[in-house]
C-alpha cells in the first residue's frame, strides 16, 4: 500500500465549496503515478519502452465531502493479477481520518505502435510482489 498526500486547491471545488466529484479521478491518477514512480517505474519510462497504459474503467464511491485547503491522504494498492490489464484500488481520507471515498481504476497495456494489447513490462509484472 502506498500513501500520497494531496492538498485540495480552490479551483477543484464547486460552488458549494466542496471538491467537485470529477477531481477524485485526478487524485487517483496522481496517487497511482507517485506509487509506481516510487517503485522505480515512472510512466515516462514505460512509454519510452513502447507501452501505453490507457484507463479502460474507473469507479468512485463517495462518503463525505472534502473542501478547499483540506489535506487528503490517498492510499493506493494493486489488486488482482497483472495480465494485459492492471487494477488499482484507492481509499481517500481527510485529516481527521474520515473516509472521503473509495475507487478503482483499470488500465490496459497496449503496444504504442500497433495499439493492440500487449504484455506488461517485466518491471510492472513484478509489482504485485511489492504491493
**Beta strand spans in the chain (E):** 2-7, 51-52, 55-62, 71-79, 85-93, 99-108, 110-111
Catalytic residue among 14, 69, 111, 129: 14
- Give dist(CA 68, CA 88) in Å, integer: 26
Respond yes or no: is residue 14 known to be catalytic.
yes
Distance, first Cα to last Cα, the chain: 6
- Give dist(CA 21, CA 48) in Å, integer: 32
Residue positions annotated with a catalytic role: 14
Amino acid at each position: 500500500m502506498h500513501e500520497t498526500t494531496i492538498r485540495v486547491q480552490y479551483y477543484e471545488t464547486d460552488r458549494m465549496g466542496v471538491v467537485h466529484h470529477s477531481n477524485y479521478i485526478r487524485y487517483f491518477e496522481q496517487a497511482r503515478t507517485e506509487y509506481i514512480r516510487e517503485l522505480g517505474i515512472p510512466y515516462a519510462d514505460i512509454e519510452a519502452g513502447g507501452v501505453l497504459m490507457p484507463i479502460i474503467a474507473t469507479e468512485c464511491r463517495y462518503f463525505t465531502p472534502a473542501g478547499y485547503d483540506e489535506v487528503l491522504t490517498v492510499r493506493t494498492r494493486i489488486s488482482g493479477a497483472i495480465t494485459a490489464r492492471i487494477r488499482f484500488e484507492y481509499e481517500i481520507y481527510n485529516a481527521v481520518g474520515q473516509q472521503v471515498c473509495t475507487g478503482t481504476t483499470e488500465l490496459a497495456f497496449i503496444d504504442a505502435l500497433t495499439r493492440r494489447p500487449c504484455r506488461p513490462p517485466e518491471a510492472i509484472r513484478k509489482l504485485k510482489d511489492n504491493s
